[in-house]
Structure 1
Amino acid sequence: MTKILHIVASPRGENSQSSKLTEAYLAARKAHQPDVEIDVIDLWHADLPEFDGDKAAAKMTFFGVGEMDEGGQSAWDQIVAITRRFTDADEYVFSVPMWNCGVPYKLKHYIDLITQPGLLFGFDPEAGYSGLLENKVARVFYSAGVYAPGAPAKYGADFHASYLSWWLKFVGVSEISDVRFQPSLLTADPDGDQKAAVQRSVALAH
């Protein structure tokens, strides 16, 4: 049975353009594969701890800096529990609006919590970094109000899809597909473009 982890990075609920795309995709997946399991993390309602000094100190022990004390171990156990929910999934589905040319800060917080040595990546002084995930799939649904790929610089830049794509590859995700509704505001036919994006999302499910 396939387990999907749907990570919601938009706070706009039913008004979210990126979430409309993910919901269309997930509904099509469920229709096509009824036994698929869908786990949802709404980052705006998730209880995500701060990545504080104890957690940073625990992380650095993997690079030979300091020792794992009781406080560090307790902090690290929190990180492991959050990350295990991520690693247990077979497929990741992200709804990601563009904020200031990047990803929403709640998503960056989540990424910074789970991107840890020995959990999502390994490191060797000679070989460098290596992703630890294997046989994982990601489907990413992007929206932006003004920015669009290839648009003039006055409409922004892409530290949004480019960052998330880099991170997924960094941790070892082997297959990444995306659907964009960009822009959602500066377009001659917003309703038509939105419907076309939903259709692309449904097609991706098949």
Structure 2
Amino acid sequence: MNILVVKANNRPASEAVSSKMYETFMNNLEGVNVSTYDVFEEDMPYFGQDLFNAFGKVESGEEMTDVEKRILAAKQKAMDALTEADVVVFAFPLWNLTIPAKLQTFIDYVYQAGYSFKYDENGQLVGLLKDKKFIVLSARGGIYSTPEAAPLEMAANYIKNISGGVFGMEIIDEVIIEGHAAMPDQAEKIIAEGLEKVAAAAKNLSAVTA
């Protein structure tokens, strides 16, 4: 089994709960092939006109600029990493109600018609990555699991909608740690209990390959 962990927080684990979740998950994996795609370490130009210019120049044979070469290479690297994975683990924080921009760029790179999805003869979207599974590991300092706040949460929901709803991947686990900033007197307990669930998620995955 090949595990791809998409790490989307460059803050140290001593300061960021989602980074601590990443470390806990990695430390509890056994007997699997695992690789990390760190979106803050990769060279990932933002998705935009540079990419479309690069596509055009590939077809015309024109010389590409440095940024056009970089974005084509980065997009291909992200797609190759996803292609090789049986299970994708997303480890990320909720920042300003959504995912970090670097994680958004990774999603933009692999969100491609003919690769991760297509449209059928009736114009309906069909996921093309149904052979893959995914896990969500996310931290948020506030409380967004209440009916009132849930519609504001656009990080874990976004990743699940894209990976499951668009790409067709199957979610097999989800660990959300929330409320540690809103309730500092309970933060240590909240984080500890959440990390136990992260460790269990890793061990469950390891057990599948045993």
1:70 is matched with: 61
**Number of the residue aligned with 2:45:** 49
- 1:22-54 CA-to-partner distances (Å, cap 9, x unmatched) read 322232222xx2xx1111111111111332335
| 1:18 and 2:18 correspond | yes
Is contact 1:17-1:143 (8 Å) kept?
Answer: yes
Report if the CA contact (8 A) 1:9-1:42 is conserved. Answer: yes
Q: 1:108 aligns with which of 99, 104, 108?
A: 104
Which one-letter code corresponds to 1:186 in the other structure? A
Superposed CA RMSD: 2.7
The whole-number CA distance in structure 2 between the counterparts of 1:189 and 1:178 is 21
Aligned to 1:159: 154
Distance 1:71 1:106, change over 3 A: farther
Q: Structure 1 pair 189/72, CA: closer, same or farther in 2 (3 Å)?
A: farther
> Residue 37 of structure 1 is aligned with which of 33, 37, 46?
33
Q: What's the offset of the Cα at 1:7?
A: 0.9
Distance 2:53 2:120 in 1: 19
Unaligned ranges ≥5, structure 2: 205-210
CA shift for structure 1 position 149: 0.6
Q: Which digits, 9 at most, give the CA deviation of each residue in 1:87-146, with x for residues without a partner?
A: 111111111100111111111111111111122111235142211113212111111112
Counterpart of 1:193? Answer: 190
TM-score relative to the length of structure 1: 0.82
Q: From the superposition, tell whether residues 69 and 125 of structure 1 become closer, same or farther in structure 2 (CA, over 3 Å).
A: farther
Q: Which runs of 5+ in 1 are unaligned?
A: 62-66
Which of 70-79 and 6-15 deviates more? Answer: 70-79
